Amino acid sequence: MDSFQDAHYFSLPSQGNVYCYVDLSLTSGLKKSLFAILKRRVFCCEFASGANGTLVPVIKEIPFTYIPAGAEIISMDGFNKSSERDDFLIGISIIKEASDQGQESFLNVYMEQESDEKGNLNLENLAQNCLMIELNFIPYQLYHTYVIHEDGSKEVVWLLPGSDLVIHVYQEDPQNHTYSETNAVLFPEFNHIEAIVLAVDIKFSRDLKKRFSAIGCECGLLKLFMSDPISGDVYRQLSEYYDAPVSQVRLFSFDNSIETSELKFFAGDDGAKRLMDKKDQEASIHLLAVNVARPSAVFIDVRSNGLSKKQLLPESNMHDSAIACHIADIDMDGKPEILIGTYLQMLLVYKFGKSSWELMAKRRFSHAIHDIDYIDLSYNGVKELVVCTASGIHIYQHQPAFVLKKFHERLEPYLKITNPAGEDETTVAK
């Protein structure tokens, strides 16, 4: 955390919750972040050009329609349907008191926006085009993933766990331009959960022939499924039980290769091929389970070990309930760190040492931490750390000296590939 410096802070008029943050990746490479608060309001955070070409963080309210008075936003999610243009869908689940002392719940799907004159995403326009789906349950996390069809095509769907102990699946009807709950059994592993699911995460193998699904439940149940995404056959199902709710789950893997979209620029065709061959090797998949009262745990290489090999994260249960998490390479060494946010305002950062996960850093905030992200909001190639708290949004940027040092460290392997004979590296770099 020493490499970060405060970049900006946005104060929110009221608090949100752990399901009220979503980042949007535009086809141009730009990033936007949406934050929702319980009182029916949604804000967009981005960086815009200021005076003298400087980047200035900007936050503005997006007027999403069909959120009635008295309603509260429970969860939000979004994704881009297209890889060639900005064709976003935003989902917002809401709940409101009904006149008969009961509660009404809805899933609002905002779709079919008109792009501006430059072809960019127009959030204000998107927020006006709403499909309202009535729910007969209290919604929790709204999560998108994809199903793989027999022809190899992928289709994005929404998963929405409910108070009725069911994970509901919502699928698009492109002919009628609508969304509805599907009766098809697209995720057979989620049948008969018989618990309120607080968190869902799904990861596919690189060849798309295996699907790993993890859920964390209010009753303390943690489940991991391994299935065939095309046939739906569940060939392995594992469970772990706690005496406190599992608030978050994350499936992740280590990748030691350096991320770049222009490998050929640095390494040429042969060097790029060698780097990509290394990158395409199947990595082990690990599972992070965050618990509100017990130590959070990392289950090592669940493909081989299932849930039998786990490591507890030190101090993860010493700062009240752990309710938020994120996995990202925030120190730029090519290996991910685990970040956990707690209700007692503490951000904990864990790094894998020689044989175990160790507490690397911690930082206290003024309010409970609801969400964490690591995203390139400024569009300068270096990601910012975003911490969402009950009072507002903190944005941290890496110090320039740290970024410059990491740039030289990352450039060195490519120079060795392009210059195997040991020529003058300054000449090669030019």
Asked whether residue 301 is assigned to any structural domain, the reply reads: yes
In whole angstroms, give the CA distance from residue 425 to residue 318.
49
> 252: how many CB neighbours lie within 10 A of its CB?
18
292-303 mean pLDDT: 96
Dihedrals phi, psi of 173, to nearest 5 degrees:
-105, 95
Stated pTM of the model: 0.89
Count of the separate structural domains present in the chain = 1
Dihedrals phi, psi of 214, to nearest 5 degrees:
-125, 140
Q: Supply the Cα-derived Rg of the chain in whole angstroms.
A: 22
Asked whether residue 287 is assigned to any structural domain, the reply reads: yes
DSSP H helices, 199-297, are 263-279
With a cut of 60, say whether residue 165 has pLDDT above it: yes
Asked whether residue 138 is assigned to any structural domain, the reply reads: yes
Give me the domain span that covers residue 277: 4-398
189-207 mean pLDDT: 93
Dihedrals phi, psi of 150, to nearest 5 degrees:
-65, -30
pLDDT grade for 51, boundaries at 50, 70 and 90? confident
Cβ-in-10-Å burial (0-12, 13-18, 19+) of 205 comes to middle
With a cut of 90, say whether residue 75 has pLDDT above it: yes
With a cut of 50, say whether residue 339 has pLDDT above it: yes
| Residue located via tokens 């911490």 | 387
Asked whether residue 427 is assigned to any structural domain, the reply reads: no
Are 178 and 208 in contact, with CB atoms under 8 Å apart? Answer: no
Q: What is the pLDDT of residue 263?
A: 38
124-148 mean pLDDT: 94
Asked whether residue 257 is assigned to any structural domain, the reply reads: yes
- Give ∠ CA 130-133-134 in degrees, rounded to 5: 135
Q: Within its chain, how far is the Cα of 295 from the centroid?
A: 22
Dihedrals phi, psi of 255, to nearest 5 degrees:
-140, 110
Burial 365-400 (b: 16+ CB within 10 A, else e): beebbbbbbbbbbbeeeebbbbbbbbbbbbbbbbee
122-127 mean pLDDT: 91
| CATH (domain of 341) | 2.130.10.10
Are 316 and 347 in contact, with CB atoms under 8 Å apart? Answer: no
Q: What is the pLDDT of residue 261?
A: 39
Higher pLDDT: 263 or 119? It is 119
Are 317 and 294 in contact, with CB atoms under 8 Å apart? Answer: yes
151-174 mean pLDDT: 93
212-230 mean pLDDT: 96
pLDDT grade for 251, boundaries at 50, 70 and 90? very high
With a cut of 80, say whether residue 238 has pLDDT above it: yes
pLDDT cut 70: percent of the chain above it: 88
With a cut of 60, say whether residue 262 has pLDDT above it: no
85-106 mean pLDDT: 88
On average, the pLDDT of the chain sits at: 87
Please count the CA atoms within 13 angstroms of the CA of 385 that sit on its side-chain side.
Answer: 28
| Residue located via tokens 């060195």 | 412
pLDDT grade for 402, boundaries at 50, 70 and 90? very high
Asked whether residue 415 is assigned to any structural domain, the reply reads: no
In whole angstroms, give the CA distance from residue 100 to residue 83.
46
Asked whether residue 426 is assigned to any structural domain, the reply reads: no
Residues 6 or more apart in contact with residue 107 via CB below 8 angstroms: 91, 92, 93, 132, 133, 135, 139, 142, 158, 160, 170
Q: Mapped to the 3 state alphabet, what secondary structure does 60-110 carry?
A: EEECCCCCCCCCEEEEEEEEECCCCCCCEEEEEEEEEECCCCCEEEEEEEE
Q: For 168-191, how does the pLDDT look when each residue is reduced to its tens digit (9 = 90+)? A: 999 998 888 788 898 778 999 999
DSSP at 279: H
